[in-house]
Structure 1
Amino acid sequence: MIVLLIALGAAVGAPLRYLTDRAVQARHHSPLPWGTLTVNVAGSLLLGAVAAVPADPALTALVGTGFCGALTTWSTLSYETLRLTRDGNRHLALGYALGSLLAGLGAAWVGYALTHAVTG
């Protein structure tokens, strides 16, 4: 049952990642992958919120593992960082990688803190 919930969450998260990435990237004419950064930070915020609530393992599997796991993407961030480096944008690549890590961790912390404050 848990595996099915993970698959269901992923079935929603993966297309949402793709559509969000395309929509955000279409608005920016920059080599910086704003779409991936957006979904990674948003997913980290949500995952931080999920971690703050004592939820049923099934809900955690659906939202945390399935949805957030498919919405966010470390592999794409890694590829895009490599692509920026190969294209001669080394400083941008370094800033993107470090900025993504800090923004993701910060978003997870904010999601956790806000949810914990609200749910007490």
Structure 2
Amino acid sequence: MTALLVAAGGFCGAIVRFWISSVWKARYRGSFPFATLFINVTGAFLLGLLWGARAGEEVLLLCGTGFMGAYTTFSTMKLETVQLLQQKRLLSFGLYLLVTYCLGIALAFLGYETGALL
């Protein structure tokens, strides 16, 4: 049952990530990876919310491990960071790293605190 919960959540998370990324890239033609940034920081908030709300084990497997694991994308973020560096876009490189980590941590904390109030 554990594997099915993680797989179902992962399937849904990957589809949502793909959809958001596709829509964002179709609407906004830029080279800064805003779609991945948005996905990762919203995922941090939502995962914090689940933990703060003390969601049950099944919910954490489905939504936390499965959905959020596939929705957020650490590897894409790292590749985009390397690409910005290779393109010598140092300001974008630094901003992307700083905003991704600092905002992600802040939103995970905010999500946790919000969840604890529920």
TM-score of the two chains, using structure 1 as the length reference:
0.92
What's the % identity of the aligned pairs? 34
- Number of residue pairs aligned between Structure 1 and Structure 2: 118
Equivalences for residues 42-53 of structure 1 within 5 A: 42-53=42-53
Unaligned runs of 5+ in 1: none
Single out whichever of 66-75 and 84-93 deviates more from structure 2.
84-93
Partner of 2:19: 19
* TM-score, scaled relative to structure 2: 0.94
| Equivalent AA in structure 2 for residue 88 of structure 1 | K
Higher relative contact order (CA 8 A, sep 6+): 2
| Structure 2: runs of 5 or more not aligned | none
Which residue of structure 2 aligns with residue 116 of structure 1? 116
| Other-structure match for 1:95 | 95
Counterpart of 1:45, as a letter, is: F
Could you tell me which amino acid in structure 2 is paired with residue 10 of structure 1? G
> Do the aligned residues in 1 keep the contact of 2:54 with 2:116 (CA within 8 Å)?
no
Task: Give the corresponding residue for 1:59.
Answer: 59
Alpha-carbon shift at residue 109 of structure 1 (Å): 0.9
CA contact (8 A) 2:52 2:116 kept: yes
Q: CA RMSD of the aligned region, Å?
A: 1.1
**1:72-105 deviation digits (Å, cap 9, x = unpaired):** 0111000000001111202211110121011111
Quote the Cα distance in structure 2 between the aligned partners of 1:78 and 1:88. Answer: 15
Contact 1:41 1:107 in 2 (8 A): yes
Whether contact under 8 Å (1:21, 1:36) holds in the other structure is yes
Match of 1:8 in 2: 8
